[in-house]
Amino acid sequence: SQTIHQWPATLVQPVGSPLSLECTVEGTSNPNLYWYRQAAGRGLQLLFYSVGIGQISSEVPQNLSASRPQDRQFILSSKKLLLSDSGFYLCAWERQGLNIQYFGAGTRLSVL
């Protein structure tokens, strides 16, 4: 069966510090991968998606970047965090062609 892992679960970082959130998927190959952000009391906003290694598409201009160094690894990064980067970050995967996204448990990021 397929599983998706995100870590860390919780992160508190000072403004201006770097960020690296990791997401890995097991039990499948060549998945579509997604990063979403969920701000407090709001819906989900798609940040990045990837249909293959090294292929990243960004949905909104922002302080964050994403990379996919391996088929089942998706990393969300920032060089300098802003207060507005606080939120709940969710990674998701989709088996190409099946049109269902499966989500990780999320990372709650607090930028202070």
Partner 1 sequence: AQSVTQLGSHVSVSEGALVLLRCNYSSSVPPYLFWYVQYPNQGLQLLLKYTTGATLVKGINGFEAEFKKSETSFHLTKPSAHMSDAAEYFCAVPSGSARQLTFGSGTQLTVLP
Report the interface residues with partner 1, using CB under 8 A.
6, 32, 34, 42-44, 46, 49, 51, 57, 59, 90, 92, 94, 99-106, 108
Cβ distance to partner 1 smaller for residue 44 or 65: 44
Q: Which residue has the tokens 């290694």?
A: 53
**Least distance from C-beta 82 to partner 1, angstroms?**
23
**Least distance from C-beta 45 to partner 1, angstroms?**
8
Residues 66 and 76 sit within 8 Å (Cβ to Cβ)? yes
**Least distance from C-beta 9 to partner 1, angstroms?**
8
Cβ distance to partner 1 smaller for residue 15 or 100: 100
Cβ distance to partner 1 smaller for residue 18 or 52: 52
Distances (CA, A) of 29 to 2, 33, 47, 51, 60: 10, 11, 22, 11, 27
**Least distance from C-beta 18 to partner 1, angstroms?**
24
Cβ distance to partner 1 smaller for residue 3 or 80: 3
